[in-house]
Amino acid sequence: MTDRSRQERNQRALDALIVSQLRRHEDSDEVDCEHLPRLTAEEQQALDSLGPDFIDNLLAGQIKPTEDDPPAEEDELLCAGGTSFGMNRAEEIDGETAEELERKRREIIERLKKKDGDDAQPSS
């Protein structure tokens, strides 16, 4: 190989390596959560800035996902069940504060843990 062709071959191999990693087919629905790309500080901040009222705001229509152009018809068939943006059930949601949310969360986790403990007890 000449140096030039060697360089070209290495560039092509690099392309191939990157493409083979990013076009890797996922056969199963199992998600390897450990190896998902990590978030940067900026991305984490954007997520945290949604705040504890995110769900209420979403339901109240104060946060609206954009829908600038509808997806192609074939996409609709591939992923049936797109979001209905007309939904608004804010009146059915009570005014839970973040504190209440956390309290209820702790209660449920405790209950689940207790249930697990009871289930593990041998029956006499």
Partner 1 sequence: MTARNPVTEQDLEEVFKDDPDFGIRLLHEDFREVILRYIKKHGWGLQLADWMDIYSQTILEMIQKSREPGFDHRKPLALAFHIAKCRTRDMLRRRKHRANPDTDAILDCVAKDFSESDIGIKLRYPDSVVWEEFQQNLYEVIAALPGRQRIVARVFIDNYEDFRERDTYTPLAELVSNITGKPESVVAVKNAWLEAKQKIVKELTRRGFNFLEAE
Contacting residues toward partner 1, per CB under 8 A:
1, 6-7, 9-25, 29, 31-40, 42-44, 46-47, 50, 54-55, 58-59, 63-66, 68-69, 71-72, 75, 78-79, 81-85, 87, 89, 93, 96, 101, 104-105, 108-109, 112, 115
> For partner 1, which is the closer residue by CB, 73 or 123?
73
Minimal distance, residue 121 CB to partner 1, in Å: 18
- Using the minimum distance from each CB to partner 1, give the nearer residue, 79 or 122: 79
Q: Of how many residues is the chain composed?
A: 124
65-102 burial, b at 16+ Cβ within 10 Å, e below that, comes to eeeeeeeeeeeeeeeeeeeeeeeeeeeeeeeeeeeeee
Distance CA 38, CA 20 (A): 20
CB of 95 to partner 1, least distance (A): 13
Residues 6+ apart with CB under 8 A from 122: none
